[in-house]
Amino acid sequence: MFGQVTITGTAKDAKAGAVVITSDNQVYYLDKLDAWNKDVVGKQVRVTGKVVVKNPEKNDRQETRAEITTPVKIIKRHKVELILD
């Protein structure tokens, strides 16, 4: 599931940035996109790009940061298409 992919899902805003949530509840963050335009939130989108997985950051005591505790899928160099009804 790594490398170039195309996913379809719902555009949502999360605390850490813009995400796409697929029908099987997989969450993909869009690199360098803090939030969707308000008219896109909740709509179906198709996103193509390269998926990379970022592991949670740890502090000097090897403790995981509280806000992100599991690996995160990030789509880099993404192209977004709005799916019209």
> Would you say 28 and 51 are in contact if contact means Cβ atoms under 8 Å apart?
yes
Confidence band (pLDDT; 50, 70, 90) for 3? confident
Task: Write down the mean pLDDT value for the chain.
Answer: 88
Look up tokens 């992919």; give the residue.
5
Secondary structure percentages of the chain, helix, strand, coil, to 5: 0, 55, 45
Per-residue pLDDT at 47: 98
**How many CA atoms are closer than 13 Å to the CA of 21, on its beta-carbon side?**
10
The architecture (CATH level 2) of 3-82 comes to Beta Barrel (2.40)
> Would you say 12 and 41 are in contact if contact means Cβ atoms under 8 Å apart?
yes
Its pTM stands at: 0.82
Interval 32-63: pLDDT, tens: 999 999 999 999 999 999 999 888 666 666 55
**Could you tell me which of 24, 26, 4 has the C-alpha nearest to residue 71?**
26
